[in-house]
Chain A
Amino acid sequence: MRNILRNLIFILFFRPLIWILGLDVKYRDRLPLKGPAILVANHNSHMDTIVLMSFYPLRYLHQVRPVASAEYFLSNRYFEWFCRHILQIIPIQHISLKIKYKNPLEKVEEALNEGSILVYYPEGTRGEPEQMGKFKKGIARLAEQYPDVPIIPIYLQGLGKVLPKGRRLLVPFNMKVVIGEAISREADKRDFIVYLRDKIVSLAKEL
């Protein structure tokens, strides 16, 4: 039932919306259709998740799961229902909260074990419009734990203009997406983050 509702929302609302706004995608075929996989992108807008999910054919859509901050997305009842059941977000607590007895990435790991395709934003927040912030360490931990899961770097441009943080008015701008090749990972945590960030920055040059 929820799958049908999700498909309907994407067909009737999100996809036409994205078509009207205008989207150019480079290397769309690099997107893995089957999980487990992790899509890693820069984050500037709520549109990021919608656009990345809309790339997936409907029969693969149910396995795509965005990782998002629990405090933000679970704040309003209706919004929470939408996020949990339509977007199927995986809520995580910020590591900065230091809940020591609990692994903040536990649910993320569960999802990967189930073969989901994660949408992961290493910046942790949407931040300043059209600027890429610092990457957090969580992704490096996942990469270390799941060496066989492909990580796909993705660069998103223009989405932060369409719907920047803190704004409600959707203004049409062309959006551009470059999808990178699945990357091989290095052992060291910090190096991996730098490496990943450089990869995404270099994708920007392919526009």
Chain B
Amino acid sequence: MLAIYQTISALFILLILASCAAYFLGSKETLRDLKSRILSWWIILPVFSLSLIINGALFFILLCFISFMGFKEFISAIPTRQGDRTLIFILYLMIPVQFYFAWRHQAEFAHFIFLFLFLFIALTVILFGETKGMLVSVAVLFWGFVLTIYCFSFIAYLNTVSPSSLSPIGGAALVLYLVVLTELNDVSQYCWGKLLRGKKIIPHVSPSKTISGFLGGVVTTMLLSFLLGNFLVSLTLIQALMAGILIAVGGFLGDILVSGVKRDLGIKDFSGLIPAHGGMLDRIDSLILSAPLFFYFLKVYHLGGQ
């Protein structure tokens, strides 16, 4: 557990340094976005780290809540039909069910969505809704559930992994490792992008992402992965570097994925929940792909004796 406390302390020190840097850089208009971003981190970091340390149940509730907010933002942004309201309500209730399966490492964790929910959504729409526009409705609702809840429930799975040779401390360390690397990858991509500028990597989706930012992020994340890989968890050098690349690329692709959805819907942010960051989905977008990728990476190395 000591390594977890030390890592979280290091994050707080990093945040204090960032706050000081932003403070001493002055009060230019261009820094206002940066400052409110840092201010938002002062809420996110304590809430996340406290619930991770204090109690498993608390962390479970936090995960459900985050997914709830994300799913709600998705549902609010897409055009929905009146007749699907009851189904949407039931889908909200399915969030804790999905997380419970993931939490308890039940096989239903994957099957629940792809068999039960897949058929359930379609049948409910057909039986109680209208058939006109049914295919679109079913597809979009299902897609939203996978995007904002299924992908995110991998974190719940990781949190309850028992200690193993890969992770002597257990699941909480793996979650911390994944979340810290993903979020710092986000931050470093943002910083490198602002510092180096240069050519845009995918201009038709995201106008602010540059090639130099992406590469800077990957290198930074690999470095951090190397630093934490032997400390928070016990990965070999090669494993740590591979995990770093995987998380950095996964984080980037998740970001792009959600940006693409926003482009299609014609919105800039999903909501104004977190000042300067946007909505919950805008914040967790990079975890959407990095979490399952990291999960399968660990599976390859026989995590938890499975």
- Bound pair (A, B): yes
Q: How far is the CB of A101 from chain B (nearest CB, A)?
A: 42
Tell me the bound Cα distance from A171 to B270 in angstroms.
18
**Would you call A129 and B82 a contact (CB within 8 A)?**
yes
**Would you call B82 and A24 a contact (CB within 8 A)?**
no
**Would you call B82 and A174 a contact (CB within 8 A)?**
no
Residue of chain B at shortest CB distance from A26: B272
Tell me the bound Cα distance from A167 to B86 in angstroms.
10
Contact with A along B7-39 (1 / 0, CB 8 A): 000000000000000000000000000000000
**Would you call A22 and B80 a contact (CB within 8 A)?**
no
Contacts of B88 in A (CB 8 A): 171
Contacts of A22 in B (CB 8 A): 69, 72-73, 76, 271, 273
Residue of chain B at shortest CB distance from A164: B82
Main secondary structure of the interface of A (DSSP, over half): loop
A-B contact count (CB 8 A): 38
On whether A169 and B86 interact (CB within 8 A), knowing A22-B72, A22-B273, the answer reads yes
**Would you call A171 and B89 a contact (CB within 8 A)?**
yes
Q: How far is the CB of B247 from chain A (nearest CB, A)?
A: 29
| A172 contacts partner chain B, Cβ-Cβ < 8 Å | yes
Tell me the bound Cα distance from A28 to B86 in angstroms.
32
In B270-292, which residues have CB < 8 Å from any A CB?
270-273
Main secondary structure of the interface of B (DSSP, over half): helix
**Would you call A174 and B89 a contact (CB within 8 A)?**
no
| B92 contacts partner chain A, Cβ-Cβ < 8 Å | yes
Residue of chain B at shortest CB distance from A161: B80
Q: How far is the CB of A19 from chain B (nearest CB, A)?
A: 10
On whether A167 and B85 interact (CB within 8 A), knowing A22-B69, A22-B273, A172-B92, the answer reads yes
In B55-98, which residues have CB < 8 Å from any A CB?
68-69, 72-73, 75-77, 80, 82, 85-86, 88-89, 92
Tell me the bound Cα distance from A137 to B42 in angstroms.
50
Tell me the bound Cα distance from A171 to B80 in angstroms.
12
Tell me the bound Cα distance from A24 to B72 in angstroms.
13
**Would you call A171 and B73 a contact (CB within 8 A)?**
no
Tell me the bound Cα distance from A171 to B75 in angstroms.
10
| A158 contacts partner chain B, Cβ-Cβ < 8 Å | yes
**Which of B69, B75, B77, B272 sits near A24, CB closer than 8 Å?**
B272
Contacts of A158 in B (CB 8 A): 76
**Would you call B86 and A173 a contact (CB within 8 A)?**
no
Tell me the bound Cα distance from A4 to B72 in angstroms.
33
In A169-200, which residues have CB < 8 Å from any B CB?
169, 171-174
Q: How far is the CB of A166 from chain B (nearest CB, A)?
A: 10
Residue of chain A at shortest CB distance from B85: A171
5 CB < 8 A contacts A-B: A22-B271, A167-B85, A169-B89, A171-B85, A174-B77
Nearest 10 pairs of A and B residues by beta carbon: A174-B76, A24-B272, A173-B76, A171-B89, A171-B85, A172-B72, A174-B271, A171-B88, A24-B271, A169-B89
Known: A22-B273, A171-B86, A174-B270. 12 other contacts (CB 8 A): A161-B76, A169-B85, A171-B88, A171-B89, A172-B68, A172-B72, A172-B92, A173-B72, A173-B75, A174-B72, A174-B77, A174-B271
Interface residues of B (CB under 8 A from A): 68-69, 72-73, 75-77, 80, 82, 85-86, 88-89, 92, 270-273
Interface residues of A (CB under 8 A from B): 21-22, 24, 129, 158, 161, 164, 167, 169, 171-174
